[in-house]
Amino acid sequence: MQFPAPVPVKWISELIHASLYGNPDGLATGINEIHKVREGDLVFVDHPKYYDTCLQSAATFIIINKKTEVPEGKTLLVVDQPFEAYASIVRHFRPFEPAGKMISDSSVIGKNTVVMPGVFIGNHVQIGEDCIIHPNVSIYDHSIIGNRVEIHSGTVIGSDAFYLNSKKDREVWYKKMPSCGYVRIEDDVEIGANCTIDRGVSDATVIGQGTRLDNLVHLGHEVVTGKNCLLAAQVGIAGGTTLGDGVTLWGQVGVNKTITIGDQAVVMGQAGITSSIEGNKTYWGTPIQEFFQKRKELVMIKRLPEIWEQIKILSSREPPKTS
C-alpha cells in the first residue's frame, strides 16, 4: 500500500512507540510485506530466521524486535511486537469503512456498464465502461475493474487475504494480517459464477487482460495472471504466485504459493503444482511432471501384471544343461 503522501519516519516511530536507529529524517512512501517491498517502503520482521532477508531487502524502513547493525541507507524501528506495530500502521492509513448502501457514492462506474440487482459495490471502487456485473456479485473496497469485463453471479472480488501471523506462545495462535491491498482486473476479462478473488495483503492481486475464469475458481492474495490465461472450474491458486501469458489450468488444479508458471504452460486436470514450472510445456500429476512422460509411466504400470507373468514363466523353466 502506498501512502497518500510521504510520511516522516519520526512520526511513524511515535505512532508505534518505536526506538529509531539509522536515518531519522527519512520519508516512508508505503508499507508492504516482504515479498512485495520497494525502496521507500516499511516492512516488519519478528523472527531471527528472516532478519537477514528483511534487512537486505529493498525496504528502506524496517520494524524489528531486536536492535542490530543498521545496513547503509536503512532505518530500524525497534519495538517489542513488530506485527502489532505493522497492523496499527495499516489500520491508521486504511481503516475499515462501513458501507451505507449497496453501491457506494465513492465508487466510479463507467458508461454503458450494467449493474444488475443485488450487486454490492464498496467504497472507492472503479469500474470501467461496457461491463456487465450480474446479480449478487460483491466487489469490496478499492477494487479496480477495467473495460468490457463480465462478472457472473455470486462472485466475490477483494475479500481479505488468508495471511496469518503465527505464534504459539500467545493465547490466539493465528492473527490475521490486515489486508491493505486491492484487486485489479484488466480489460476484456470474464469471471464465472461463485469465484473468490482475494485482495493483496499490501499490493495488488491482478487478473490480466483477456483472461477467462470458469466457475468456482479461487485466487489468493497477490496472485498475478498474465494475459489470456484460461482457468477451469475449481482451480485454486495460493498467494503470491505468478502466471505468465496464455497459461491454461484445467479443472481442480491446485497451485502452491509464491511460485511461477511460465508462458503458455498447460496443466491437465487435478494436477498439483508444488514448484515453479517452465512455459510452453504440458504437465500432469501430483507431484507434477511433463504430461507425455507421465503417460508413459502409466502405460508401463498397466503392463506390470503382464510383465510379472512373463517373469514367472521364465523363472520356472529349467536352466539349460551344460556338458
Catalytic residues: 221
Spatial separation of the C-alpha atoms in residues 164 and 167, rounded to whole Å: 10
d(CA 32, CA 294): 40
Q: How far is CA 49 from CA 53, 189, 247, in A?
A: 8, 40, 34
Strands 2-8, 27-31: pairing is antiparallel
∠ CA 130-132-134, nearest 5°, is 170
Q: Under a CB-based contact definition with an 8 Å cutoff, are residues 155 and 139 in contact?
A: no
The order of strands in the sheet holding 108-109 is: 108-109, 126-127, 144-145, 182-185, 204-207, 224-225, 242-243, 260-261
Tell me the C-alpha to C-alpha distance, in Å, between residue 123 and each of 2, 78, 192, 219, 281: 17, 34, 23, 22, 42
Residue 72 to residues 6, 52, 56, 61, 310: CA-CA distances in angstroms? 21, 14, 10, 11, 71
Contact 225, 209 (CB under 8 A): no
As given in the structure block, the three cell numbers for residue 159 are 475479500
